[in-house]
Amino acid sequence: MKMTSNSGVTRRHFLKVGSIGLAALSGGFGLRGLARAETPTPEHDHATPTSGDVVATAHAADHGGMGTVGQVDHAANQFNPHEILTDFDTGVLTEENGRAVRTWEMYAVDREFEIAPGVHFPGWVYGTLTSAASRRLGRLVGQCPGPTLRCVEGERLRIHFINASSHPHTIHFHGIHSAVMDGIPGVGPGMIAPGGRFTYEFDAKPFGCHLYHCHAVPLKRHIHKGLYGAFIIDPDPTRHSGEDAAAARTRNHTYAESRAVNEMVMVLNGFDTNFDGENEVYAANTVAFAYDMTHPITIARDQPQRLYLINVTEFDPINSIHLHANFFDYYDHGTTLRPTHQTVDTIMQCQAQRGILEFSFAGFEPGLYMFHAHQTELAELGWMGFFDVQ
């Protein structure tokens, strides 16, 4: 069953009725307050929840964890949040006149995908031929968020953009480039019409954790529908010295030092399933509770961790992350080689803000360690997960 704009299930319904109540409202799918709660029987699937049901569900949630009813079909989606977590799309690297040139072929396509069990979203997305999903299936896969583009400071970047969707789109890269390459209406090529193409070309700078997104109008619709992704520029150690050069080597994917660090990408997003201007589902990498207790992110406790975190949530002024039972160092925008915040366990980001978290579970006991938005509403609607520290 698909949740459509006339389903009548709003953000407030999600919060008010919790697990069993939402299953009642939406035919037995969606978010719920307790992963271990009993599945409603068929005769109760479409019953209106009573106040007693709400209280009982809330009481049960107090003694359990948040989660979803059922499972998202990742094979049908063609992308998986666990795959997105560690897929760095480095494109095709060549040399021209002694200079490194990195190239991608990027498409915009229309496609529907599942964001919570049984909840489908009519999206607009990006895809590349060099993403893990496209290589795995042997054909172009459009995904949300788009592929994580990764390059090195100082390289020449060339992105061949093909608009294979039914709407005009652009790509706007957060970084430094000329006006004609800015991907905004009215400047340079402006919006690329369906069937059209354009090549964005510029130098990779500054190093850091950036993003790209469509800048066609209405902007909030084009971003909210799924046209965004991470854009990481690794520092070039040869441009730095001393401790900074050593730090740059651990952040540059072409150096062996970087392979000692477990690197992950989380793009924070939300979805307005009934087009009322409020999100009903929140997530890291699109699928609600993708990294819950049954599908946690497995990490080695003695290995340093690096998390590239980017917020593209529409309709909310801020998003956040809180790491349970641990603290991290934070590099705002990733444009420094030394932390801008040290020993913090919560950070806020407005839309398009991003940064790098570095932390370790060395010396910790093994187990499940939670992370989530510290706006409780966002966590209860999907933006929550666990690290399985082993």
pLDDT tens sequence across 314-371: 999 999 999 999 999 999 999 999 999 999 999 999 999 999 999 999 999 999 999 9
What pLDDT, on the 0 to 100 scale, is given for residue 67?
A: 81
Helices and strands (H and E) in the chain: how many: 8, 23
Alpha helices in 216-330 (DSSP H): 219-224, 242-250
- What are 261-319's pLDDT values in tens digits? 999 999 999 999 999 999 999 999 999 999 999 999 999 999 999 999 999 999 999 99
Residue predicted with more confidence, 184 or 3:
184
Query: What does the pLDDT average to over 111-121?
Result: 97
Q: Bridge partners of 198?
A: 161
Q: What is the residue-wise DSSP string for 186-212? A: TSTT-SBPTT-EEEEEEE--S-EEEEE
What pLDDT, on the 0 to 100 scale, is given for residue 68?
A: 81
Measured between alpha carbons, how far is 277 from 120 in angstroms, rounded to an integer? 17
- What are 126-175's pLDDT values in tens digits? 999 999 999 999 999 999 999 999 999 999 999 999 999 999 999 999 99
Instruction: Single out the residue of 119, 29, 39, 42 nearest to residue 68, CA to CA.
Output: 29
What pLDDT, on the 0 to 100 scale, is given for residue 13?
A: 55
- What are 201-210's pLDDT values in tens digits? 999 999 999 9
